Amino acid sequence: MNFNNPELKYWLAFSKCNKVGNVFLEKIYDSFKSLNEAWHASSSDLLFYSDLTHKQIEEFAQERKKINPEQLIDELFEKNISVITIADDNYPPLLREIPKRPAIFFFRGNLKECNLSKTLAVVGSRKISKYASDVLTQLISDFPSKDMTIISGMALGADACAHQAALKNGIKTIAVLGSGFDYIYPRENINIYKKILDDNGAVISEYYFDMSPQPWMFPHRNRIVSGLSQGTLIAEAAEKSGALITARTALEQNREVMCIPGAITNPNTKGIYKLIKEGASIVTEPQDIFNYLNWKIEDKTASEKNKTTDFLDNEEKVYKTLSLDPSTLDEIISKTNLSAEEILITLTTLELKGFIQKTGTQQYARTLKK
């Protein structure tokens, strides 16, 4: 929004009021068409044009007395924070479509550099398993196109994994905070926050910069994560989790919900299989995401399509029997009909080449990097 716009200071003033929510602010804007007029309106006029109770209007009237709109724009300048409102032409189109959209939000970074027409939300467990972390990292690194934006909530676990994989692979990423900019949370991810800004990504918050994080803010911000995105990918989710809340929100917004399948013995996959049973799409490779979202994939050259790994002797035979889940030596022998000596020699060469890894006593699994 233009900082010279005389209405901006009143958008900021309403946003700074704790008693004013997005629904109220948007209704006030629709009714008055001028937030300057709304800010100076009587309690009776505000009551008439909103769903707030008499008590809430009274509380707002008291809070309004403590705020000087004239100071707020300078505060944003000092904090290097930009702002967008629903009155602005550059309000993200996908976000504009959702129910209870943020009437105003703040950001740091470079939203113009982020492709907002090709966006994927990635969420999941804060205690993500190594398997899910490895798979998610590999999926993102193998995206056939980097001209997209990955959106997440910068929480621990899956969120952090998604942001880091995007940054590592030259993909723009946006983090949506559940607090104001004075409270970057969790502090463990402060380096991710800085790296996103250094990489011309963006960090967004609908809360005024001095708003400290409260438990209700994190599930509330999830509607923005999914709302900015054409689809939401769930890496891991327990039956009761924030990731599942985001998935439900995405469905309410008529957006695609996709899941990475995992071990059924993992409690953090119960939410995943619940979503799959209810119709969520399954993702096992990057092309699945591009197909579900109707994103075009550049055709590979014939040489790339025909490119195969050069295996020696029994390596291909042994490699094909393995998956990301560990297999025992006896299982490999039964599937290949090779001798134990031949199997052990082949497993050793495959491990040295980085195609497989030893996961336990006489247990082997494929690695993700090949």
pLDDT, tens only, 56-74: 788 888 889 999 999 999 9
Strand pairing category for 256-259 and 281-282 = parallel
For the record, the structure tokens of 229 come out as 């995105």
DSSP per-residue codes, 110-132: -GGGS-TTSEEEEE--TT--HHH
CA 337 from centre of chain = 46
**Cβ–Cβ contacts within 10 Å for residue 248, how many?**
15
DSSP tag of 33: S
What number does CATH give the domain 315-366? 1.10.10.10
> Which pairing describes strands 82-85 and 104-109: parallel, antiparallel, or unpaired?
antiparallel
CA angle, corner 304, sides to 302 and 308, nearest 5? 115
Name the amino acid, one letter, at 91: Y
Tell me, what's the pLDDT at 3? 60
Tell me the per-residue pLDDT of 200-224, one tens digit each, with 9 for 90 and over.
999 999 999 999 998 888 889 999 9
365 dihedral zone (left: phi>0; alpha: psi -120 to 50; beta) = beta
What's the sign of the alpha-carbon dihedral 354, 360, 364, 370? Answer: negative
pLDDT along the chain (370 residues), means of 10: 76 86 81 88 83 80 90 92 94 95 95 96 94 94 93 96 96 97 95 96 96 89 96 93 91 96 89 93 94 78 48 83 85 86 85 83 76
Torsion of CA 10, 14, 16, 22, to 10 degrees: -130
Cis before 186? omega within 30: yes
| CB distance 350 to 318 below 8 Å | yes
- Per-residue pLDDT tens for 176-186? 999 999 999 99
Domain ranges of the chain: 8-79, 111-292, 315-366
Q: What is the 3-state secondary structure (H, E, C) of 174-200?
A: EEECCCCCCCCCCHHHHHHHHHHHHCC
The pLDDT of residue 179 is: 95
Task: Give the separation between CA 326 and CA 363, rounded to whole angstroms.
Answer: 6
Q: How far apart are CA 340 and CA 191, in angstroms?
A: 48
Predicted TM-score (pTM) of this structure: 0.80
Q: Which CATH architecture has domain 111-292?
A: 3-Layer(aba) Sandwich (3.40)
- Report the alpha-carbon distance of residue 150 to residue 228 in Å, rounded: 10
> Which two tokens mark 224?
């923005």
